[in-house]
Chain A
Amino acid sequence: MATHGFAGQETHAHAAPQGFIRKWIFSLDHKIIGLQYYFLALAAVFVGMFLSLLMRIHMIWPTVALPLVGEIKPEAYLSLVTMHGTIMVFFVLTTAPQGGFGNYFLPIQIGAPDMAFPVLNMLSFWTTFLGFIVMLAAFFVTGGAPLHGWTGYAPLSALPSAGPGEGLGADLWIISIAIFCIGALMGALNFITTTLDMRAKGMSMMRMPLTCWAWFITAILGLLAFGVLLSGGILLLMDRNLGTSFFVPLVTVNGQLTGHKGGSPLLWQHLFWFFGHPEVYIAILPAMGLCSQLLSVFSRKPIFGYKAMVYAMLSIGFLGFMVWGHHMFMSGMSPYTAFAFSIMTMAIGVPSAIKTFNWLGTLVRGKIRFSSPMLFAIGFVSLFVSGGISGPFLAQPVLDIPLHDTAFVPAHFHLIMGVASIFGIFAATYYWFPKMFGRMMNESLARWHFWFSFIGTYCIFMPMHYLGMAAQPRRYSQFTELQYLAHLIPLNKFITYAAIVTIAGQLIFVANLFWSMFKGKKASDNPWEATTLEWTTATPPPHDNFGGRTPVVHNGPYEYSVPGAPRDFVMQSDPAIKAAH
């Protein structure tokens, strides 16, 4: 697909389009494409969140008939689990921070007029969009959406007879993911080329804002990971439809032979997690980069240890490819390999801890302004710590014996990869909204939204740790069958109540977003008094980002409170400064 993009487009320079369709639908402008990605992710996050609401309701009131939805059947519950996970991971956590904000702000922050390959950029969005449509279609085919979970473990995912939803629904699920992979690969290609080749004069790699570093490293991870998932998807489709036996050994479903033999279910897990673990970092790295940025901006202080932050992100990306086996400690993989994977996994905690220390170090002796983006950045740090702390439990195979596949695992990854990334997306929205739409978001609504989300998140996911320790397996729709789960039902009820309130709180965000788009206070070009290049241009930025001029960079990205400077921030494009120590 790459060759096609090159052939189609050789240059980034294209005229500002006039017609509605060329301007808003099939736009080549990275800013429009960024917004398209953002709104796709917004639609996806509401679908995903709605699914989780249905799941929580079903756990507590299994027989209640809901308006529009009706009663949720047990098989529907597993479809909800699958689709919630898949939609959130692919179409929200991968799409919004990278496709959305990355597309919009990477070129501007490095001083480029557009992405390297605009046509490819447009194709990557529409490919992703198509993937989303195919994914949603799985709900409406015979048998409904698949029930094999977002990890799609074979043979469950490879056998149409293994359960409802494993027919056409599962095929659509795999095809959707394959389409998504192709879109993500096109995007990653664009990000890497743009970062390496299109930086403005003076914008050396070590002067790039940490957001750009994060998007760059994320793109590299995507480039290496999505091809592997694509290959796994192709093999799975062949097993399902062409009668091959890559993943399926000799099995019988309900006493019926399936005709497969000799395949390896673990092979799928290796391929999936070789993608799946880097995917976790694909989701979280942009949020890390952004929150580093915000902590510096709103503490009015240079980031603590810029280089350490860059190296930490690089080593997280690098180590991220060597730890996939920690998802498979209980899978029948060799216990010796498990030990090696475990050491690597603990090692990856080190750069993560460095980042946390540096965030705290940035706050020390700062002058913190509690604007809404900063609240979410602080919330991100808190959630990252809470979610990170359960990592060393799961990374040790010995403790993984009691904890694997219990509620402890969703508690861990929801905090660190789910909600922490979502907080990054919220922070980015509040921070860049003025630049994108020329208006400010309502600050007091934003604060209410923050308190609902922050406290709500802890009320939902902290108790899941207790459930996990008490051995409640994940992906259970009811807790009535096992007696030892009976005493956990009140806690499950509490989580459902918390989820309902937290999800209701998100309506504040949507209201604020759309209200501010049209009615918000007009924003100045640099409302946060930040230093990076996007704040040197008009609001919203013109078609070529800098209105005909090419920015020249003289300073690092985080020059705040420089002694002797006229203001407490020095723009990257200001004449070179030398701090008067």
Chain B
Amino acid sequence: MASFSTTATVDDPRISMGGGSTLPPVRGGGDDGRSGSPDYGTRLRRARLGLLVALTPILMLFVSFTSAYIVRQGLPTLDPRTNTLVRDWIPVKLPRLLFVNTCVLLLSSVGMELARRQIRREAALAPAASVSAASTGEEKKIPWLAMTVVLGLLFLTGQWMAWRQLAALGYYVSTSPSSSFIYLLTGTHAIHLMGGVLALLVAGAAS
């Protein structure tokens, strides 16, 4: 039961700071006579734990779609005309654009990680910001967060174009089971990503 007795599953980065930090914002105010709003470390830990938990149902959703995909792909059904079991799975030839999109997506993950590191470094250096001389290899600040958002939007646009290409080739949602799944999986993924882009925009506005 050790794993249940603590919250050690989530590592606590312990970015403690003097309260006057630029990020993230303290909302809701702490002026209600409680023991004060929790400090940055607590809130970060809680938000991370929450995000980790939130990933579970999203994962389950995609696992569920994927298992439906596998089942549907392998399953024969009865053709009443011939009284035999037939498979109706016809693979769709995917547009090349999807490969480019995947690369954009991977690139945006890299951008995301760099943005995270950048913010973390800024936060760690924030108390010492007044003593700006003590910079450890201060390079020009690259707007990683903004670049991630742009890449994300680029990916979504790319996906839209890929849908248009599929449609031009005659593959619509109901054309064949494989095309149904392409639209389903890319569609839900797009919604998932829009949520992510939205979150990045909020984070960007806050910092």
Chain A residues in the interface with B (C-beta under 8 A) = 1-7, 9-16, 28, 113, 116-118, 185, 188-189, 192-193, 196-198, 204-206, 223-228, 230-232, 234-235, 238, 242-246, 249-250, 261-264, 267, 270-271, 274, 543-544, 548, 550
Contacts and interface: CB of A to CB of B under 8 A. Distances in A.
Given A197-B7, A197-B46, A232 B64 contact: yes
B32 interface: yes
B53 A14 contact: no
A264 B199 contact: no
B140 interface: no
B5 interface: yes
B50 interface: yes
Contacts of A235: 65, 68, 184
A81 B167 CA distance: 42
A4 B64 contact: no
B99 interface: no
Given A244-B174, A267-B68, A2 B58 contact: yes
Contacts of B184: 234-235, 238, 244
A207 to B, nearest CB: 10
Given A193-B50, A227-B61, A231-B60, 14 more contacts: A7-B203, A9-B28, A10-B43, A11-B38, A16-B32, A223-B57, A223-B60, A228-B64, A243-B173, A246-B68, A264-B75, A544-B34, A548-B33, A548-B35
Nearest to A113: B34
Contact of A10 (B47, B174, B195): B47
Interface in B23-62: 24-38, 43, 45-47, 49-51, 53-54, 56-61
A117 B50 contact: yes
A226 B184 CA distance: 18
13 contacts: A1-B195, A2-B195, A3-B195, A6-B54, A7-B203, A10-B26, A197-B45, A198-B46, A223-B53, A246-B72, A262-B87, A274-B64, A543-B32
A245 B195 contact: no
A271 B47 contact: no
A551 to B, nearest CB: 11
Given A193-B49, A224-B57, A231-B68, A246 B27 contact: no
B34 A205 contact: no
B199 A11 contact: no
Contacts of B47: 6, 10
B1 A14 contact: no
Contacts of A238: 173, 180, 184
A6 B72 CA distance: 36
B77 interface: yes
Interface of B: 1, 4-5, 7, 9, 24-38, 43, 45-47, 49-51, 53-54, 56-61, 64-65, 68, 71-72, 75, 77-80, 86-89, 173-174, 177, 180, 184, 188, 195-196, 198-199, 202-203
Contact of B61 (A117, A230, A267): A230
A3 B56 contact: no
A550 B35 contact: yes
Given A3-B199, A261-B88, A262-B88, A13 B1 contact: no
A4 B202 CA distance: 9
A230 B25 CA distance: 33
B182 to A, nearest CB: 11
B80 A250 contact: yes
A225 B173 CA distance: 27
A380 B160 CA distance: 55
Given A197-B7, A235-B184, A13 B36 contact: yes
B43 A11 contact: yes
B14 to A, nearest CB: 15
Contacts of A10: 24-28, 43, 47
A306 B135 CA distance: 56
Contact of A262 (B25, B177, B203): B177
Nearest to A228: B64
A245 B50 CA distance: 36
A205 B198 CA distance: 36
Contacts of A543: 32
Given A197-B7, A244-B174, A250-B79, A7 B199 contact: yes
Contact of A249 (B33, B45, B77, B198): B77
Contact of A231 (B36, B38, B64): B64
A263 B24 contact: no
A204 B4 CA distance: 9
Contact of A242 (B80, B87, B173): B173
Nearest to B3: A205
A196 B195 contact: no
Contacts of A117: 50
Contacts of B60: 223-225, 227-228, 231
Given A227-B64, A550-B35, A13 B30 contact: yes
Given A15-B28, A246-B68, A261-B88, A116 B77 contact: no
Which of the listed residues B31, B34, B71, B77 has the most CB atoms from chain A within 10 Å of its own CB? B34
A4 B27 contact: no
A116 B28 CA distance: 13
A3 B198 CA distance: 8
A266 to B, nearest CB: 9
Contacts of A205: 1, 4-5
Given A206-B1, A267-B68, A245 B38 contact: no
Contact of A3 (B29, B80, B196): B196
Contacts of A14: 28-29, 32
